[in-house]
Structure formats: structure tokens, C-alpha cells
């Protein structure tokens, strides 16, 4: 028996509702691997993650100089602020990108391979010791003396914390993404050059680097990035390793090279940093031309 037109029309709202819900749920259901491409911002950040990080970090670094900080404390507050900008930018980009990027970023705050944390400390202290030995041999200092003061105790805790603000951005965020399709050497230098350029902000009027030789102060930082990348990779992707290298180098400079003049310290530091990077790469050049992926395609840490 054929249904009447009245029956068909009475059923239409139910059928229409069911069909509409089904089509809506199918067309709006998330599809793994395609979510990021539906959002233009996420698509851009995924494709230009490192470029976005570098541009934002450099821009915010120099923009921070315009903040209305108290003039008497600006020479101290401004450098402190700069150390946290890379971490803040990396955190923001990772949060917007999604897909586990934020978890991967802060997942680098792990011990990794503990032995490499110790090596990082020894390398940082060893380079400052080399600067002191050179200063003594060349007659810049008559004696080698360790400085001990309550301020240095506080500095011992402060320098790694400040270093972490930089390392979370340059090593934990930018470096692994570059290592996906570039050699260790290329990735180290691509992060090293803008990291060095950030230090130009400390040559702005009233800042701590005014009067120092710019090239000798800034250029070696780009090569110092090679040593940071080395301990980061060898530690299994632990950002604590380059943080300890960075923090120890800065702390030991205040502890054993306090009597060395600024000009001499800058030039001798440049010699040691450049020499250390060149020796490290020259020892195993093939290794530095290899690629070393520390992230999976989803942004999660690769298994070590």
C-alpha cells in the first residue's frame, strides 16, 4: 500500500532534521592531520615556525627598549627582560600551533642523558679558564684570583635561570625544527646568527655593552651556538644542557675574570669561543654535515 502524501509530509521534519544533523556532523567532524590546514594562522606557523620565531624575537627585543622603564634601573631591567623574550615567543607560537608543540617545548626540560649535563658545566667553566690563562700569559693580569662574595652566590642561581629564558627559544624551539631538514652545522648557525644579533640591543644608549668592540662581542656568539647545539643534541634534546653551558660560562666569567679589563675580556673571549667552535667542527666534520631530527612530524620529541 502506497503511503499517502499526508504521511510523507508529516515525516519530512523528522527526516529533514536527521539528514541535516548527519550532514553537519560529517562536514564538521575533525579529521586527523587536516585540522592544522583549515586554520590559516596555524598553517602559517607550521610552515614558517622558525622564521616567525626569529622575526618576533628580534622585533620584541628592540621594541622592549622603548618601554618606560625607570631610567636609573633600565641598564639592569632591560637585559633581564631580554633574556625571557625568546621563551615567551616560543611558548606563544607553540600554543597557537597546537598539535603537541607546547608539550614538546616544555618536554625538553628533562634530564636526558645526565652525563652531558656535567660535560656542559665543564665546557662552560673550561672556556672561562682558557680566557684567564690567555690573559695571564699575555700579561693582562698578574695573578689569577677567584672572587667569592654573597652576590656571587645569588648569581650562581640567577645565571642558569636567565640562560633558560634564551635556551627555551633558540635551542628547544628553533633548533629541533631546523634539524628536521638541515645539517647540524647549518641549523646551529641559522639559530646562532639571530641569537648574536639580539645582543646588539645591549649596545643601545645607556646599556651595558656601550663602548665595547661590537664585532668581537657579537660575532663569536653565532659560533658559540655550535657548542650549545652540540650539548643539546648529545644530551638527547635536553634544554638543561645548553642552559648549564650558557649559565656556567656567564657565572665563571664574573668569578675568575673580574679583574680583566672589558676590552681585553671581549677580545680574548672571542678567540676562545671561535677556537672552541672550529675545533669541535673540525674534529668530526662529517658529523656536523649530517641531519639529526629531534622531532617527529607531529611536533613530539623523537625517540632517542
Q: Over the stretch 38-48, which tens digit does the pLDDT of each residue have?
A: 677 777 877 89
CA distances (Å), 46 to each of 101, 138, 181, 224, 299, in order? 10, 51, 14, 28, 10
Total domain count for the chain? 1
The answer on pLDDT for 24 being more than 50 is: no
What domain range is 95 assigned to?
40-288
Confirm whether 171 is domain-assigned: yes
- 196-201, long-range: CB < 8 A, 24+ apart: 196/220, 196/221, 196/222, 196/225, 197/58, 198/57, 198/58, 198/61, 198/82, 198/86, 201/61, 201/62, 201/64, 201/65, 201/78, 201/82
Helices and strands (DSSP H and E) totals, the chain:
14, 0
Beta-bridge partners for 291: 183
Confirm whether 25 is domain-assigned: no
Confirm whether 266 is domain-assigned: yes
Confirm whether 28 is domain-assigned: no
Residue 298 confidence class, pLDDT cut points 50, 70, 90: very low
User: pLDDT digits over 128-152, tens only?
Assistant: 999 999 999 999 988 887 777 777 8
The confidence score (pLDDT) of residue 256 equals: 86
Confirm whether 21 is domain-assigned: no
Confirm whether 32 is domain-assigned: no
For residue 112, the SS3 value is coil
Residue 129 CA to residue 196 CA, distance in Å, equals 23
User: pLDDT digits over 68-88, tens only?
Assistant: 999 999 999 999 999 999 999
Task: Give 100 or 12, the one with higher predicted confidence.
Answer: 100
The answer on pLDDT for 180 being more than 70 is: yes
Judge whether 220 and 274 are in contact, CB under 8 Å: yes
> Which residues, at least 6 apart from 8, have a Cβ–Cβ distance to it below 8 Å?
none
Confirm whether 214 is domain-assigned: yes
Confirm whether 6 is domain-assigned: no
3-state class percentages of the chain: helix first, strand second, coil last, to nearest 5: 75, 0, 25
Amino acid at each position: 500500500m502506497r503511503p499517502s502524501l499526508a504521511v510523507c509530509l508529516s515525516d519530512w521534519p523528522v527526516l529533514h532534521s536527521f539528514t541535516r544533523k548527519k550532514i553537519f556532523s560529517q562536514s564538521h567532524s575533525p579529521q586527523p592531520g587536516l585540522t592544522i590546514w583549515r586554520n590559516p594562522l596555524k598553517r602559517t606557523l607550521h610552515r614558517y615556525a622558525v622564521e616567525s620565531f626569529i622575526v618576533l624575537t628580534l622585533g620584541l627585543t628592540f621594541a622592549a627598549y622603548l618601554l618606560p622603564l625607570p631610567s636609573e634601573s633600565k641598564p639592569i631591567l632591560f637585559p633581564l627582560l631580554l633574556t625571557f623574550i625568546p621563551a615567551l615567543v616560543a611558548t606563544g607560537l607553540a600554543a597557537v600551533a597546537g598539535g603537541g608543540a607546547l608539550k614538546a617545548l616544555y618536554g625538553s626540560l628533562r634530564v636526558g642523558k645526565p652525563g652531558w649535563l656535567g660535560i656542559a658545566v665543564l665546557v662552560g667553566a673550561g672556556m672561562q679558564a682558557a680566557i684567564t690563562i690567555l690573559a695571564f700569559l699575555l700579561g693582562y693580569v698578574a695573578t689569577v684570583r677567584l672572587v667569592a662574595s654573597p652576590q656571587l652566590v645569588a648569581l650562581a642561581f640567577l645565571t642558569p635561570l636567565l640562560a633558560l629564558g634564551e635556551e627555551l627559544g633558540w635551542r628547544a624551539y628553533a633548533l629541533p625544527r631546523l634539524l628536521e631538514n638541515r645539517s647540524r652545522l647549518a641549523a646551529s648557525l641559522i639559530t646562532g646568527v639571530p641569537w648574536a644579533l639580539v645582543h646588539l640591543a645591549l649596545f643601545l644608549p645607556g646599556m651595558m655593552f656601550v663602548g665595547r668592540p661590537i664585532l668581537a662581542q657579537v660575532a663569536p656568539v653565532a659560533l658559540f651556538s655550535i657548542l650549545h647545539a652540540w650539548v643539546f643534541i648529545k644530551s638527547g634534546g635536553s634544554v638543561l644542557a645548553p642552559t648549564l653551558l650558557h649559565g656556567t660560562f656567564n657565572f665563571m666569567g664574573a668569578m675568575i675574570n673580574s679583574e680583566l679589563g672589558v676590552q681585553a675580556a671581549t677580545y680574548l673571549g672571542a678567540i676562545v669561543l671561535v677556537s672552541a667552535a672550529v675545533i669541535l667542527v673540525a674534529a668530526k666534520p662529517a658529523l656536523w654535515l649530517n641531519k639529526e631530527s629531534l622531532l617527529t612530524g607531529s611536533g613530539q620529541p623523537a625517540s632517542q
